[in-house]
Amino acid sequence: QVRVVESGGGLVQPGGSLRLSCVASGSIFGITVMGWFRQAPGKERELVADINSGTRTNYADSVKGRFTISRDNAKKTVYLQMNSLKPEDTAVYYCKGVISDRTTYRPRDYWGQGTQVTVSS
């Protein structure tokens, strides 16, 4: 089966940086869009950034200029470099891949388990 797994979360002071990683594995035919979402306590899950197979990127207004999404197709990995972190960035961050497997060849969403990012002094 296909799965995606995030890593890299943790506790950081305001102004600090973290890099999140997300690795896709399993019987994969192709990966189109990969993205990062986050969900803070009492808030709805929101899109942070995504990147398509042509490396075209999209960012939420709240993170533009601070976060950078990238992907390594050979490693089936997407990254989120987070700089100048603010307390309001505190959330569980989830990776999502739009992935087709080698059984159905039909793309669908696969979600990671989430990784906690806490920005606090």
Q: Which of 17-21, 52-56, 100-104, 112-116 has the lowest mean pLDDT?
A: 52-56
**CA dist list (Å): 35 to 15, 32, 103, 120:** 23, 10, 23, 25
Convert the pLDDT of each residue in 2-35 to its tens digit.
999 999 999 999 999 999 999 999 999 999 999 9
Q: Which residues have a Cβ under 8 Å from the Cβ of 47 and sit 6 or more positions away?
A: 35, 36, 37, 58, 60
Convert the pLDDT of each residue in 34-92 to its tens digit.
999 999 999 999 999 999 988 899 999 999 999 999 999 999 999 999 999 999 999 99
Q: Tell me the residue length of the chain.
A: 121
Contact 57, 69 (CB under 8 A): yes
Alpha-carbon gap, residue 10 to 7, rounded angstroms: 9
